[in-house]
Amino acid sequence: MNEVSINDILHSNKFLDKKVSISGWVKTFRANRFIALNDGSGLDNLQCVIDFENTDDEILKSISTGAAINVSGSLVSSQGSQQNVELKVDSCKILGDCNPETYPIQPKKHSFEFLRENAHLRTRTNTFGAVMRIRSNLSFAIHDYFKNNGFYYVHTPIITASDAEGAGEQFRVSTLDMKNPPIDDNGKIDFKKDFFGKETNLTVSGQLEAEAYAMSMGKVYTFGPTFRAENSNTSRHLSEFWMIEPEVAFMDINGNMKLAEGFLKYILSYIVKNNIEDLKFLENRLIVEEKQKPQNERGELTLIEKLKFVIENEFKIITYTEAFEILRNCKPNKKKKFKYLIDDWGTDLQSEHERFLVEKEFKCPVIIYNYPAKIKSFYMRLNDDKKTVRAMDILFPGIGEIVGGSEREERLDVLLKRIKKVGIDEKELWWYTDLRKYGTAVHSGFGLGFERLVMFATGMSNIRDVIPFPRTPQNAEF
């Protein structure tokens, strides 16, 4: 007998009129006869028809939503209009029953808040199954893109002694006794006595180490978890998120922008090709949701149309100064509708400004580059105007910033000045500055926030719903 997946069965003719055996979870059981079975291999369930007159009563009682069962029988053409094939069950085994009184995932609509509290079971629902299958395929597409384009995958460390972004938003890693830490001669905690002999944290970015590898292996990328202790309880921030960071030697900011655009288009096309059923399901969910909104707040494009629009159209590329001028002169700024008004050149753009540019002004993804030096990290290449750096951010509709990157400062003297200016101890970055002493060269890279990408690809509006077990301030359940 064939032990096959439901996905295989529904996408091939070769199992018709064959005996098959399938294990899965009951979605619904109707009329003591029809089991909708899902084994996790795809969105669609297999209809399994049980002969209740010849089935033990105990078994029939245990076939309830959520139960794990194994069924075997013949796969036949279905009489019903909902499906082409169905399983005529010869034998049904209960692998693990499921108490219908207490099982949280009932066959009805649940709120996302409720499902977040039941994150260990939420992938039993169609929506979360679809989101997580798309997440899985996006990861694969990312590796696929880099492999096809001559990049090497580098595993940068999770525990580091350097704050790559210099933003001081790190989680400490320590084995010191918190109640009674060792104190040095200056009355400060003596980290020399800590596990690594120095202060260490969870990484906020693998970039600095990726730069070291780019400066020998040419084209590299990291794809790993990163951690930020920023107290931002928003629908776009996680304390633990995954980031993809390519880093390329001999590539400038223009090459960096091209790389990012081509890369994003490739990975989004990959899921349009390979997850169309999941995307259609999520699209229909969103259409129903949109209908509940007032007419003027409804989006113009459906989910798949939005993905295709990004894949098929060029991103708009503008400098910070151009963005600043547009924002300074736009209606919401003049009418003081923005929470943060745009008056002075050099102010950081907030998400309301980013969304205005993407959703109202250009209606397409926007790359902003050449940002004021004072609002960006120390490692970014200073322009000749000495005021701006070769930074670039990519903004997406509905998401805001999805990518942050730059050409790196490759000149030792300029880098040292910048390190000093932001107050970092140069000694801590000795190995990073070494890279500028031994065969330095132009190089660039960027970071793509993986969960923000998954949000865009699935149309989910809260970042907590696109990662299996979200970590946010005051929340590390599961």
Q: Which residues sit at the interface with ligand 4AD, rule CB under 6 A? A: 164-165, 205, 207, 228, 237-238, 241, 243, 245, 401-406, 445-447, 449, 451-452
Cβ atoms of residues 260 and 254 within 8 Å: no
Nearer to ligand 4AD by Cβ, of 92 and 220: the residue is 220
Least distance from ligand 4AD to the Cβ atom of residue 101, Å? 38
Nearer to ligand 4AD by Cβ, of 243 and 323: the residue is 243
Assign residue 242 a region: left if phi > 0, alpha if psi is -120 to 50, beta otherwise?
beta
Least distance from ligand 4AD to the Cβ atom of residue 393, Å? 7
Least distance from ligand 4AD to the Cβ atom of residue 403, Å? 5
Nearer to ligand 4AD by Cβ, of 6 and 238: the residue is 238
Residues 6+ apart with CB under 8 A from 325: none
Distance (Å, rounded) from C-alpha 254 to C-alpha 273?
Answer: 29
Least distance from ligand 4AD to the Cβ atom of residue 404, Å? 2
Least distance from ligand 4AD to the Cβ atom of residue 176, Å? 27
Nearer to ligand 4AD by Cβ, of 330 and 391: the residue is 391
Nearer to ligand 4AD by Cβ, of 241 and 320: the residue is 241
Residue type, 305: E
Nearer to ligand 4AD by Cβ, of 306 and 408: the residue is 408
Least distance from ligand 4AD to the Cβ atom of residue 228, Å? 5
Cα angle: 409, vertex 410, 411; to 5 degrees: 95
Least distance from ligand 4AD to the Cβ atom of residue 57, Å? 52
Least distance from ligand 4AD to the Cβ atom of residue 183, Å? 33
Nearer to ligand 4AD by Cβ, of 89 and 154: the residue is 154
Mind spelling out the 3-state secondary structure of 233-297?
CCCCCCCEEEEEEEEEECCCHHHHHHHHHHHHHHHHHHHHHHCHHHHHHHHHHHHHHHHCCCHHH
Nearer to ligand 4AD by Cβ, of 207 and 388: the residue is 207
Least distance from ligand 4AD to the Cβ atom of residue 237, Å? 4
Nearer to ligand 4AD by Cβ, of 27 and 228: the residue is 228
